[in-house]
Amino acid sequence: MHLPRIQNPIQPEDYKKIARALTLVENDLDGAEDILHHLNLNSSAAIIGITGPPGAGKSTLVNALINSLSEENKLIAVLAVDPTSPFNLGSLLGDRIRMMEQFNKPNVYIRSVATRGSLGGLSAKIIEMVDVLRSCGFDYIIVETVGVGQSEVEIVGLADITIVVMVPESGDEIQSIKSGLMEIADIFVVNKADREGADTFANNLKKLVHQKATEIPVLKTIADKSEGISELLLAIKNYSRKALSLKPFLLTEKAWRLIQQKKMQHIDKKKLQQNIAEASELKNFNLYRFVNNYIESDL
């Protein structure tokens, strides 16, 4: 399948081709391998990862960024990642609702996608889908990942720039930031900065940032009022992409996820759930014996 090099505004036939390619890749359908093996990734598209805890206003911030970039006539793609339920393996894909105002813009393409059980918020499929979008010629690709906190470090292997969104209420937990999000943030955003304690929280965050070898910007925004968005965009544009010395590490992170997916793709999780439900009823059930037996029977 030949992917379009899109023009601004995106034409309806381009939307259809992009959507079809993403569907093939996401679901491992016939033609997916051919698409991936012939991607043209020599693109200047900036990949922006936006992460942070639930309720931080990530989707509202993405909305505000899209509005500002649209005024500059930029082509924007958004992958909005929602968590997969561990019980029914479904996903709400709620970002479709929160970003409704963007769907009629001819320069914006939005796709919701499920994590497919990835604890860090990114499945290997999302890596592949981002590369499909990169090959289409977008100016900006925004990946808004599920807010699962400090375990969401996988975004560092995908994005050119990682924005961690927090709220003033996170102030009590600021010390715990050191071991997790501090390691992956290229820019910190304190959103909902009109709330009480925002200035104190931002100042404490800046003190932590100043302990690092490379200073990380700490910006305040009120996304639902579009306040602080121009400063955030300026910080994004001024950010030099991750050093070339990091390139092998980032590619290794991607390769690791892709290899892991290939090795695991023959395991049917629903069938595994049925088997373990039956086995767990037995008196002498032992999870570790069950796993070893399952692996051996699968070889």
- Reply yes or no on whether the pLDDT at 106 is more than 60: yes
The CATH number linked to 94 is 3.40.50.300
Contact indicator for 105, 170 with CB cutoff of 8 Å: no
- 282's tokens: 């037995």
For all residues of the chain together, what is the average pLDDT?
81
Q: Which residue range(s) make up the domain with 272? A: 267-298
What is the mean predicted confidence (pLDDT) over 248-274? 80
> Which pLDDT value is given to residue 213?
56
* Model confidence pLDDT, tens digit, residues 137-187: 899 999 988 655 444 556 766 788 889 898 988 655 565 565 556 667 889
User: What's residue 88's pLDDT?
Assistant: 43
Token output for 71: 């005024």
- Residues 189 and 287 both lie in one domain: no
Q: Looking at residues 266-285, what average pLDDT do you find?
A: 88
Q: What average pLDDT does this structure show over 216-231?
A: 94
Residues 236 and 294 in one domain: no
Query: What is the DSSP pairing of strand 161-166 with strand 187-190?
Result: parallel
129-143, 146-160, 212-226: which has the highest mean pLDDT?
Answer: 129-143
Q: Is residue 5 part of a domain?
A: no
Phi, psi of 185 (to 5 degrees): -75, 130
Confidence bin at 75 (pLDDT 50/70/90): very high
Q: Which two tokens stand for residue 106?
A: 């001819």
- Highest mean pLDDT of the ranges 16-20, 41-45, 114-118: 16-20
294, 287 contact by CB (below 8 A): no
User: What is the pLDDT averaged over residues 118-139?
Assistant: 78
Q: Residue 7 forms beta bridges with which residues?
A: none
pLDDT number for residue 248: 73
Answer yes or no: do 104 and 247 share one domain.
yes
Domain count, the chain: 2
Q: Are residues 173 and 215 in the same domain?
A: yes
Query: Is residue 1 in some structural domain?
Result: no
Q: Are residues 143 and 222 in the same domain?
A: yes
User: Distance between CA atoms of 223 and 231, rounded to whole angstroms?
Assistant: 12
pLDDT at 182: 67
* pLDDT > 90 in the chain, percent: 34
